[in-house]
A and B are shown apart, each in its own frame.
Chain A
Amino acid sequence: MKFAVVVFPGSNCDDDSYHAAKHVLGQEAEFIWHKETSLKGADVVILPGGFAHGDYLRTGAIARFSPIMGAVAEFAKRGGPVLGICNGFQILLEAGFLPGAMLRNRDLKFHCEHVIVRVEQTETPFTLRAAKGQRLRIPIAHGEGNYFAPADVVQQLESSGRVVFRYCDERGDVTERANPNGAVNGIAGICNEARNVVGLMPHPERACEGALGSADGLILFESAVAAMAQEGVMRTA
């Protein structure tokens, strides 16, 4: 199983994502510079967190023009699993892989803290191993994570089960207090219609080992491996 971690100028969670895939899970992993045009046979693509292109213009707005994004679009179209983490999520929104946009956090503060998210949808390659309603303690680190979409789009996301993660409190209740940034309906992560492209603001790659305070994020990477193994079985069957 090979993970490709796309590196944009300004990415800063690329090493963490690589580490989670390669050293924690023991899978193959490769960095792909954003100027490249091939994903080199990767099975899973990660757009990591950071500040691609310095967040100039808008977060993720310039990264969508990076040469590698053509290959990522092709890969996603063929059903390949793509995970956008934080800035990677913002890039997926700007590039039109996922609907909506990010606004400044409602309190204008950069939030760097552990939050709890509830898994809402397990039928994605990144949540397959999780249970519906499972709570994950994962850190966030963003200034623009206030997910916004027009009311009809939010309604569509909700009714088609495309909200994958939601901020919640320790009991699993979605409350205003548990929502760190003002995201509509407490949305922390969503997926595309085909469910192979997932974006989320929290950083699962920073919560993959007990030494980091939580290993809850590992389940996203484990899910991707399981999803690929399943597909391999289907391909050979």
Chain B
Amino acid sequence: MKARVFVTLKPSVFDPQGKTIADALHSLGYTGVADVRQGKFFEIDVEARTADQAFHLASEVADKVLANPVIESYRVEIPES
């Protein structure tokens, strides 16, 4: 079963990369882009019988390894197959 993990810097943490991308977009004329936050996306294959199990397993690895809780938060999605 697939699980998707999105890791981003916490809202309270300044994201210089996102800021630079937003500035670049503004210079291209995309004034409608208010802000950009850059993050990471992981697609994991997990052995799980139910979506619930997959969600818990993915959350655990996100918590322990994929995200650094000091600066990052994460969100897990189990896509419907």
A-side residues, CB < 8 A to B, are: 57-58, 61, 93-94, 99-101, 103-108, 148-150, 182
Residues in A with CB closer than 8 Å to B71 are 101, 103, 148
From the candidates B16, B17, B70, name the one contacting A150 in the complex (CB within 8 A).
B70
Establish whether residues B70 and A149, one from each chain, have CB atoms under 8 Å apart when the complex forms: yes
**CB nearest to A96 among chain B residues:** B70
Query: B31 interface residue, CB < 8 Å from A?
Result: no
Establish whether residues A57 and B65, one from each chain, have CB atoms under 8 Å apart when the complex forms: yes
Per-residue interface assignment for chain B, residues 13 to 41, with 1 indicating a CB less than 8 Å from any chain A CB and 0 otherwise:
11011001000000000000000000000
Establish whether residues A103 and B68, one from each chain, have CB atoms under 8 Å apart when the complex forms: no
New A-B contacts (15) at CB < 8 Å, excluding given A93-B70, A101-B68, A101-B70: A94-B68, A101-B71, A103-B9, A103-B13, A103-B14, A104-B17, A105-B16, A107-B16, A108-B16, A108-B17, A148-B71, A149-B70, A150-B70, A182-B14, A182-B16
A-B contact count (CB 8 A): 33
Residues in B with CB closer than 8 Å to A93 are 70
Residues in A with CB closer than 8 Å to B20 are 108
Residues in A with CB closer than 8 Å to B13 are 103, 148
Residues in A with CB closer than 8 Å to B68 are 58, 61, 94, 101
Residues in A with CB closer than 8 Å to B14 are 103, 106, 182
Instruction: Tell whether A61 pairs with B70 under 8 Å between CB atoms, given A103-B13, A104-B17, A108-B20.
Output: no
Query: B3 interface residue, CB < 8 Å from A?
Result: no
- Smallest CB–CB gap between A173 and chain B, Å? 24
Instruction: Tell whether A57 pairs with B70 under 8 Å between CB atoms, given A104-B17, A107-B16.
Output: no
A148–B70 CA distance with the chains assembled, in angstroms: 8
**CB nearest to A148 among chain B residues:** B71
A103–B9 CA distance with the chains assembled, in angstroms: 10
